[in-house]
Amino acid sequence: MKLQQSRLGLIPLVEVHGEVDHSSGRSLHEVTHRALGEGLRLLLDLEHCPYMDSGGVAVLLSLLARVRPQGWLGIVSANSDLRRIFTMVGLTGDGCFRCFQSRQQASDAV
């Protein structure tokens, strides 16, 4: 797994390239929490992430716990399999992820 950090406007953005599993989850945790810093908003671009297991979902849950209730976690370009997982575990409802189909949609919304 490869992670790239940038910004979309003023919001930190982390791109995930490759699969997120228990072995790579620690790196994702460290990079995303560092990118978040003292802020309360983060975008995670999953366009190039074909797979995520429960270890990756646990990282997302820890991020969500850190930013709520004042902030938010945005998921960008997740494939249909990842969206299905997020829906099954209840992460796409009110107070959970903000989901965007593209970076442009995320940029327009924030």
Tell me: the pLDDT tens digits for 2-49?
999 999 999 999 999 999 999 999 999 999 999 998 789 999 999 999
Tokens of 20: 């997120």
User: In 86-96, which positions are buried (b, 16+ CB within 10 angstroms) versus exposed (e)?
Assistant: beeeebbeeeb
Give the span between the Cα atoms of 63 and 98, in whole angstroms.
13
Which CATH architecture describes the domain 2-109?
2-Layer Sandwich (3.30)
Q: What is the pLDDT of residues 68-101, one digit of tens each?
A: 888 999 999 999 999 999 999 888 877 788 999 9
Cβ pair 53, 82 in contact under 8 A = no
Q: Which residues pair with 15 in a beta bridge?
A: 4, 45
